[in-house]
């Protein structure tokens, strides 16, 4: 049974099953940058624009995809900061298409050392394949860059339309 499962998994590498997903992400607006007094850390709420088409990932062996947005930046305390801001489970080809403006993050961007102000932040759209049988892979499709506000603020929001870059396949 295991041998046949392995052979079945190998068929998903045939040329007709090679995926060609597309994705773009862009920063839309920084809604606030404040100090979370309970946790004693910087905290920011963001909105972003996202378009993706993962339909080519689905074939007989694909169960679902876990899609997520990560913010990464560097500070003097930590050379690598990565914070997951948003996620989604895609279970079929219909859900694999998304075109959304002003999506709000599910989890705020927080920095434990209060060093988020004025930092260059990169948004990464990543996803993990979850086949019925075989190996799971993590892939990155798109990035966008923006600079966090220099000062704390709450309320109106500051538009942060910045350049974004998409990748295909």
Using one digit for the tens of pLDDT, what is the confidence trace for 107-151? 999 999 999 999 999 999 999 999 988 889 999 999 999 999 999
What secondary structure does DSSP assign to 4-66, as a single string?
A: HHHHHHHHTTSGGG----EEEEEEEEEEEEEEETTTTEEEEEEEEEEEEE-GGG-STTEEEEE
Rounded distance, CA 148 to CA 44, Å? 9
What lies within 8 Å, CB to CB, of 80 at 6+ separation is: 72, 74
Given the candidates 3.40.50, 3.30.70, 2.60.40, 2.40.128, the CATH classification of the domain at 2-156 is 2.60.40
Is the Cβ–Cβ distance between 162 and 27 less than 8 Å? yes
Is the Cβ–Cβ distance between 86 and 107 less than 8 Å? yes
Global model pTM greater than 0.75: yes
Q: What is the pLDDT of residues 68-98, one digit of tens each?
A: 999 999 999 999 999 999 999 999 999 999 9
């Amino acid at each position: 049974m295991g041998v046949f499962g392995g052979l079945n998994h190998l068929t998903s590498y045939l040329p007709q099953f090679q995926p060609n997903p597309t994705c773009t992400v862009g920063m839309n607006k920084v809604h606030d940058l404040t100090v979370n007094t309970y946790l004693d850390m910087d905290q920011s709420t963001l909105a972003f624009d996202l378009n993706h088409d993962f339909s080519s990932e689905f074939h007989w062996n694909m169960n679902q995809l876990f899609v997520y947005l990560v913010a990464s930046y560097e500070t003097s305390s930590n050379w690598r900061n990565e914070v997951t801001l948003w996620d989604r489970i895609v279970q079929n080809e219909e859900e694999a298409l998304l075109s959304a403006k002003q999506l709000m993050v599910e989890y705020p961007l927080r920095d434990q050392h209060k060093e988020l102000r004025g930092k260059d932040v990169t948004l990464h759209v990543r996803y993990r394949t979850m086949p019925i049988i075989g190996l799971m892979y993590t892939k990155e499709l798109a990035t966008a860059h923006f600079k966090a506000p220099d000062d704390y603020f709450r309320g109106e929001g500051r538009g942060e339309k910045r350049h974004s870059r998409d990748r295909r396949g």
